[in-house]
Amino acid sequence: MSDPGKPRWIVDTSGWPLVLFRLPGKPKELPDFEAAIRDLEALLARKERFVLIQDLTYASPDATRRKRLVAWIKQNELPLKQCIVSMGIVAPTAFHRGLIQATMWFVDPVIPIEVFPSTETAVTWAQRIGREAGLLVKPR
Protein backbone atom coordinates (compact mmCIF):
# COMPACT_ATOMS: atom_id res chain seq x y z
CA MET A 1 0.00 0.00 0.00
CA SER A 2 1.31 3.45 -0.89
CA ASP A 3 1.99 6.09 1.70
CA PRO A 4 1.07 9.50 0.26
CA GLY A 5 3.54 11.22 2.61
CA LYS A 6 6.54 9.22 1.37
CA PRO A 7 8.83 10.50 -1.36
CA ARG A 8 8.32 8.87 -4.76
CA TRP A 9 10.51 7.96 -7.68
CA ILE A 10 9.90 10.22 -10.66
CA VAL A 11 9.07 8.26 -13.80
CA ASP A 12 10.01 10.42 -16.77
CA THR A 13 8.48 9.08 -19.98
CA SER A 14 8.85 12.35 -21.93
CA GLY A 15 11.54 10.73 -24.09
CA TRP A 16 9.57 7.51 -24.71
CA PRO A 17 10.73 4.84 -25.51
CA LEU A 18 13.46 6.01 -23.15
CA VAL A 19 12.22 5.93 -19.53
CA LEU A 20 14.11 7.50 -16.63
CA PHE A 21 13.40 6.55 -13.00
CA ARG A 22 15.02 9.03 -10.59
CA LEU A 23 14.61 10.62 -7.20
CA PRO A 24 14.14 14.41 -7.15
CA GLY A 25 16.80 14.81 -4.46
CA LYS A 26 18.05 13.14 -1.31
CA PRO A 27 14.87 12.01 0.50
CA LYS A 28 14.68 12.27 4.27
CA GLU A 29 13.09 8.82 4.32
CA LEU A 30 13.06 5.83 2.00
CA PRO A 31 10.96 6.41 -1.13
CA ASP A 32 7.69 4.56 -1.66
CA PHE A 33 8.91 1.26 -3.10
CA GLU A 34 5.47 -0.18 -3.80
CA ALA A 35 4.52 2.91 -5.82
CA ALA A 36 7.69 2.46 -7.91
CA ILE A 37 6.78 -1.18 -8.56
CA ARG A 38 3.28 -0.14 -9.64
CA ASP A 39 4.77 2.50 -11.95
CA LEU A 40 7.01 -0.12 -13.55
CA GLU A 41 4.11 -2.56 -13.85
CA ALA A 42 2.09 0.15 -15.64
CA LEU A 43 4.93 0.59 -18.13
CA LEU A 44 5.09 -3.17 -18.72
CA ALA A 45 1.30 -3.29 -19.15
CA ARG A 46 1.67 -1.08 -22.24
CA LYS A 47 3.32 -4.10 -23.88
CA GLU A 48 5.67 -1.79 -25.77
CA ARG A 49 9.44 -2.07 -25.91
CA PHE A 50 11.50 0.58 -24.14
CA VAL A 51 14.93 1.33 -22.70
CA LEU A 52 15.00 1.93 -18.95
CA ILE A 53 17.42 4.07 -16.96
CA GLN A 54 17.37 4.00 -13.17
CA ASP A 55 19.34 6.80 -11.56
CA LEU A 56 20.55 5.72 -8.12
CA THR A 57 22.27 9.04 -7.36
CA TYR A 58 20.07 9.79 -4.32
CA ALA A 59 19.16 6.21 -3.44
CA SER A 60 19.93 4.63 -0.09
CA PRO A 61 20.33 0.92 0.62
CA ASP A 62 17.58 -1.11 2.21
CA ALA A 63 17.79 -4.90 2.52
CA THR A 64 14.01 -5.33 2.74
CA ARG A 65 13.39 -3.43 -0.51
CA ARG A 66 16.24 -5.29 -2.21
CA LYS A 67 14.68 -8.65 -1.26
CA ARG A 68 11.27 -7.46 -2.47
CA LEU A 69 12.80 -6.30 -5.77
CA VAL A 70 14.56 -9.62 -6.30
CA ALA A 71 11.29 -11.51 -5.70
CA TRP A 72 9.41 -9.15 -8.04
CA ILE A 73 12.01 -9.59 -10.81
CA LYS A 74 11.77 -13.36 -10.52
CA GLN A 75 7.96 -13.19 -10.73
CA ASN A 76 8.01 -10.87 -13.74
CA GLU A 77 10.81 -12.26 -15.90
CA LEU A 78 8.69 -12.71 -19.02
CA PRO A 79 7.22 -9.17 -19.25
CA LEU A 80 10.61 -7.71 -18.35
CA LYS A 81 12.26 -9.63 -21.20
CA GLN A 82 9.47 -8.76 -23.63
CA CYS A 83 9.38 -5.01 -22.93
CA ILE A 84 12.72 -3.76 -21.63
CA VAL A 85 15.30 -3.74 -24.41
CA SER A 86 18.08 -2.92 -21.96
CA MET A 87 18.57 -1.14 -18.64
CA GLY A 88 21.11 1.48 -17.73
CA ILE A 89 21.82 2.08 -14.07
CA VAL A 90 23.36 5.37 -12.98
CA ALA A 91 25.71 4.51 -10.12
CA PRO A 92 27.94 7.54 -9.52
CA THR A 93 29.93 6.10 -6.59
CA ALA A 94 31.57 2.85 -5.54
CA PHE A 95 28.89 2.64 -2.85
CA HIS A 96 26.14 2.65 -5.49
CA ARG A 97 27.96 0.08 -7.60
CA GLY A 98 28.16 -2.10 -4.48
CA LEU A 99 24.37 -1.89 -4.14
CA ILE A 100 24.00 -3.19 -7.68
CA GLN A 101 26.46 -6.00 -7.10
CA ALA A 102 24.67 -7.02 -3.89
CA THR A 103 21.36 -7.23 -5.76
CA MET A 104 22.92 -9.29 -8.56
CA TRP A 105 24.10 -11.85 -6.00
CA PHE A 106 20.45 -12.78 -5.53
CA VAL A 107 19.14 -12.69 -9.09
CA ASP A 108 20.62 -13.15 -12.53
CA PRO A 109 19.66 -10.21 -14.74
CA VAL A 110 16.87 -11.16 -17.13
CA ILE A 111 17.67 -8.17 -19.37
CA PRO A 112 20.98 -6.62 -20.44
CA ILE A 113 22.23 -4.13 -17.83
CA GLU A 114 24.92 -1.48 -18.13
CA VAL A 115 26.23 0.74 -15.33
CA PHE A 116 27.12 4.42 -15.85
CA PRO A 117 28.74 7.15 -13.75
CA SER A 118 26.25 9.84 -14.82
CA THR A 119 22.76 10.33 -16.18
CA GLU A 120 24.15 12.03 -19.28
CA THR A 121 26.25 9.02 -20.28
CA ALA A 122 23.34 6.67 -19.57
CA VAL A 123 20.96 8.73 -21.73
CA THR A 124 23.44 8.84 -24.63
CA TRP A 125 23.82 5.06 -24.37
CA ALA A 126 20.04 4.51 -24.10
CA GLN A 127 19.36 6.58 -27.21
CA ARG A 128 21.88 4.52 -29.17
CA ILE A 129 20.50 1.20 -27.84
CA GLY A 130 16.97 2.29 -28.68
CA ARG A 131 17.91 3.23 -32.25
CA GLU A 132 19.78 -0.06 -32.70
CA ALA A 133 16.67 -1.92 -31.50
CA GLY A 134 14.57 -0.11 -34.09
CA LEU A 135 12.79 2.14 -31.59
CA LEU A 136 12.09 5.76 -32.42
CA VAL A 137 14.10 7.59 -29.76
CA LYS A 138 13.50 11.30 -29.22
CA PRO A 139 16.49 13.50 -28.42
CA ARG A 140 16.53 14.72 -24.81
* Distance from C-alpha of 22 to C-alpha of 9, rounded to nearest angstrom: 5
Non-local (6+) Cβ contacts of 49 within 8 A are 17, 82, 83, 84, 85, 133, 135
Prediction pTM value: 0.88
For residues 61 and 43, what is the distance between their CA atoms, to the nearest angstrom? 24
Domain 10-132 sits in CATH at 3.40.525
Q: What is the pLDDT of residues 105-131, one digit of tens each?
A: 777 788 999 999 999 999 999 999 999
Summarize pLDDT for 42-85 with one digit per residue, the tens: 999 999 999 999 999 988 878 888 888 889 998 999 999 999 99
Q: Give the residue with greater pLDDT, 23 vs 100.
A: 23
Residue 4: DSSP 8-state: T
Domain ranges of the chain: 10-132
pLDDT above 60 for 1: no
E strand intervals along 1-140: 10-15, 18-22, 50-55, 84-90, 113-116
